[in-house]
Amino acid sequence: MAETLVTVVCLLSSAALTAARAPHIVFVLADDFGWYDVGYHGSEIRTPNLDRVSAGGVRLDNYYVQPICTPSRNQLMTGRYQIHTGMQHQIIWPCQPYCVPLNEKLLPQYLKEAGYATHMVGKWHLGMYKKDCLPTRRGFDTYFGYLTGSEDYYTHGHCYPISALNLTRCALDLREGEEVATGYKGVYSTELLSQKAIGIIEKHNSDKPLFLYVALQAVHAPLQVPERYLSPYRFIKDTHRRFYAGMVSAMDEAVGNITLALQQAGLWENTVLVFSTDNGGQTLSGGSNWPLRGRKGSLWEGGVRGVGFVASPLLKRPGTVSRELIHISDWLPTLVGLAGAIPNTTNPLDGFNVWNTVSNGFASPRLELLHNIDPLFTDIAPCPGREHQLTLAEGVSRDSWANSVFNVSIHAAIRSSNWKLLTGFPGCDIWFPRPGFNRSRSSPFKPDPLKPVMLFNIEKDPEEREDVSAWFPSVVDNLLSRLHQHQKSALPINFPDDDPRCDPGPTGAWGPWA
Ligand SMILES: *[C@@H]1O[C@H](CO)[C@@H](O)[C@H](O)[C@H]1NC(C)=O
Ligand SMILES: *[C@@H]1O[C@H](CO)[C@@H](O)[C@H](O)[C@H]1NC(C)=O
Ligand SMILES: *[C@@H]1O[C@H](CO)[C@@H](O)[C@H](O)[C@H]1NC(C)=O
Ligand SMILES: *[C@@H]1O[C@H](CO)[C@@H](O)[C@H](O)[C@H]1NC(C)=O
Ligand SMILES: *[C@@H]1O[C@H](CO)[C@@H](O)[C@H](O)[C@H]1NC(C)=O
C-alpha cells in the first residue's frame, strides 16, 4: 500500500513537473532532402547550420520516413501507418476529393488540448477539397502556407492538368489561415516561410508552450534559387546538382535563422527542435542518397532512410549519434508525451514514444517497422534501363512463392531488427553514383535481377547489395506472415478520381471546392 502511494505521488509530481515545464516544440520538415545532401554525411553541399545544430543534439542514423510526401506527413500527423488511414497509395493530387480521414486526431489537436499554442507554416499536402480538411480546422491556431505539392518558389503558383476539362490549370496556392494570400509574388519561398516562422517565434508569449510546425518547400523541385546561394557552387558541373546545392544552402540558412530566433526570444532553453526530411532525395532533380540504393518513391533505403536529428538543451546525451530504429510515426507519441499528455485516441497508434531513446540513449521500443503495403503501386518517375515491373509480376505465379501467405506481387517492405524484406517491385533500384564521380567507376556491380521476395541485412549491408533470402528461409517466412497480418488490418485504398470542380479558374487559387 505504502509503496503504491509513493508510486502514485511520484507519478503525479513528475506529471506536474512535465506539465509546468512543457517544452516548446519546433518541428522542421524538409522536402525531398536526400541522405547525401547534408554536410555531416560527407556531402559536397555545405550545411554549416544543420551540422552545428545537430552536433549539439542527437543525430538519428537509423531513422526512417515514408518514400513520398503525403504519406510521411500523414504518419507524422496521425502516428499511424498509411494502411490504417486508407492512404497507402501515392500522394493527394490537387483535384482528388479526399483528405486524411476526419476521424483521425492530428498532432496539433493533441498539443492544443495539452495547452499549446499551435502554428503551422508551409506545405500541408494532406487534403483540402473541403474546408474541414484544412490545417486550421485540424488543430492549428494559425496557418501560412500552401496546400498542394511542388510549386513555383517565387510565384507560389501550382500547375495541374485537369484531364476532364482538357486543360492544365496554373493557379496560386498560398494561404494565410483560410484566406488566399496575395502579395508575396517574387518572395523566395524558403525566405518567406522562415520569416513567417520567425514572426511567430518573436510574437510568442513564453508562458504558453509553443508548437510550431515548419514544413519547408525546400528542397523539392522546381530547381529555383537566388543567385547568392549559387555562387559558392561553381565547382559543381552538373546543373541540376548545382541549383539543388544552392537550394540546400538557403534551407540551411533558414534553419540557422529559426534557431537563432528561438535563442533571441529566450525560448531555446526549453525547446525541443526536430529536423527531418519527408523522404529520400529525388535524383532526377539534383538530390542524392549515395551510397544508398534507389531514391524517393522507392522502398529501397534511398527512399526511406531519412536525414533527421533532435536538438535541445533538454537532451540528456547531447552530441551523440543514435543508431536505434526510429520512424516518422514515432514523433506523435513522443511529442505528445513531452507535452505531458497521453495520446487518448480510440484509433490505435503505430508509433512509439522514443524520447528515452533519443534523449538517454535507451534501446528503441520499436522492434519492427512496416515501410508500406501498396497493391496499386506503379513507379511514376523514369528509371532508365529498369522497366522490369512486368517480368517480375509474371514470374511470381511460376515460382515457389505461389503458395505464400502474402501475395508477393504486392509492393511491400517490412523491417524487423536488422532484417528488411521486400516484395513485388520496390521501385527504381539503381545505385546512383556519388555526385561528381564517374558512373562507370562507382558502380562496378551488375545487380542481380530483381526477385519477388528479397531479404537484406541492413545493419551489415545498408546498400542492399546482397539478397540473402535463400539463406534465411525462416526469417523470410516470418516476415511474410507479418506482412500478411498487417495487410489484414489495412483499410481499403482510398484514391478517388479527380473532381473537375476543383478548377480554380484563370484567376482563382487552389483550395476547397466541395
Ligand atoms: C484538348 O485540347 C487540345 C489543345 O487545346 C485540342 O487539340 C484537343 O482537341 C482537345 N481535346 C478534346 C477532347 O477536347
Ligand atoms: C536569414 O537571416 C538573414 C539576416 O536577417 C537574412 O538576410 C536571410 O535572408 C535569412 N535567410 C533565410 C533563408 O531566410
Ligand atoms: C482526450 O483528452 C482531452 C483532454 O482531457 C479531452 O478533451 C478529449 O475529449 C479526449 N479525447 C478522447 C478521444 O478521449
Ligand atoms: C496479387 O497482387 C497483384 C498486385 O497487386 C495483383 O495484381 C494480383 O491480382 C494479386 N493476386 C491475387 C491472387 O490476389
Ligand atoms: C569516366 O571513366 C571512363 C573510363 O575510365 C573514362 O573514359 C571517362 O573519361 C571518365 N569520365 C569522367 C567524366 O571522368
Residue 396 alpha carbon, nearest atom of ligand 4: 1
Nearest ligand to the CA atom of 404: 4
Sign of the dihedral defined by the CA atoms of residues 66, 458, 325, 319, in that order? negative
Q: Which of 110, 336, 342, 344 has most ligand 3 atoms within 8 Å of CB, for mutation? A: 344
| Ligand approaching nearest to the C-alpha of 411 | 4
- Please indicate whether residue 507, judged by its CB atom, sits closer than 6 Å to ligand 3: no
Compute the CA torsion angle 44, 49, 50, 56 (nearest 10 deg): 130
Domain ranges of the chain: 23-366, 370-488
SS3 of the chain: helix, strand, coil, percent, to 5:
35, 15, 50
Q: How far is CA 482 from CA 102, 277, 305, 397, in A?
A: 28, 27, 21, 21
Assigned fold of 23-366: Alkaline Phosphatase, subunit A (3.40.720)
**The C-alpha cell of 430 is what?**
539503381
Residue given cell 534559387 in the structure block: 225
Establish whether residue 237 lines the binding site of ligand 5, counting it when its CB lies within 6 angstroms of any ligand atom: no
The reply to whether ligand 3 has any atom less than 6 angstroms from the CB of 113 is yes
CB–CB of 169/147 below 8 Å? no
Short-list 31, 53, 421, 428, CA closest to 258: 53
Place of cell 532533380: 285
Q: What is the rounded distance in angstroms from the CA atom of residue 272 to the CA atom of residue 309?
A: 11
Q: From ligand 4's centre to the CA of 499, what distance in Å?
A: 28
Closest ligand by atom to 408 CA: 4
The pLDDT value given to residue 446: 59
Mean pLDDT for back-to-back runs of 10 residues, the chain (514 residues): 42 45 97 98 98 98 98 98 98 98 98 98 98 98 97 97 96 98 98 98 96 98 98 97 98 98 98 98 97 97 98 98 98 98 93 98 98 94 69 55 88 97 94 85 61 96 96 97 98 98 97 96
Query: How far apart are the C-alpha atoms of 260 and 257, rounded to whole Å?
Result: 5
Please provide the average confidence, as pLDDT, over all residues in the chain.
93
290 Cα to the center of ligand 5, angstroms: 19
Q: Which residues are catalytic?
A: 69, 125
- Name residues contacting ligand 2 (CB within 6 A): 190-191, 194, 250, 253-254, 257
CA angle 12/15/19 to nearest 5° reads 135
With the most atoms of ligand 2 within 8 angstroms of its CB, the residue from 224, 257, 260 to mutate is 257
Atom of ligand 2 nearest to the CA of 198: 14
Predicted confidence at residue 440, as pLDDT, reads 56
**pLDDT attached to residue 380:** 81
Q: 250 alpha carbon to ligand 2 midpoint, in Å? A: 8
pLDDT at res. 104: 97
Whether 344 is in the pocket of ligand 3, judged by its Cβ within 6 Å, is: yes
Spacing, Cα 409 to ligand 4 middle (Å)? 6
Q: What is the 3-state secondary structure (H, E, C) of 447-460?
A: CCCCCCEEEEECCC
Among 110, 111, 113, which residue has the most ligand 3 atoms within 8 Å of its CB, making it the best to mutate? 113
Q: Helices in 204-285 by DSSP H: which ranges? A: 227-230, 239-264
Output the CA 170–ligand 2 centroid distance in Å.
29
Among the listed residues 113, 268, 114, the one whose alpha carbon sits nearest the alpha carbon of residue 204: 268
Tell me what pLDDT residue 392 has.
Answer: 55
**Among protein residues, the one whose CA lies closest to atom 13 of ligand 3:** 345
Nearest atom of ligand 5 to the alpha carbon of 438: 1
Query: Is the CB of 4 inside a 6 Å radius of any atom of ligand 3?
Result: no
Distance 344 CA to ligand 3 centre (A): 6
Q: Supply the residue whose CA is at minimum distance from atom 5 of ligand 4.
A: 375
Residue 394: predicted pLDDT: 52
In this prediction, residue 19 carries a pLDDT of: 45
Question: How close is the Cα of 166 to the center of ligand 1, in Å?
Answer: 6
Closest listed ligand to the CA of 259 = 2
Q: Distance from the CA of 239 to the center of ligand 1, in angstroms?
A: 35
Q: Which amino acid is at 420?
A: K
Residue closest by Cα to atom 9 of ligand 5: 438
For residue 410 and ligand 4, the question of a CB distance below 6 A is answered with yes
Query: Which CATH architecture describes the domain 370-488?
Result: 2-Layer Sandwich (3.30)
Residue having the nearest C-alpha atom to atom 11 of ligand 3 = 344
pLDDT value of position 390? 44
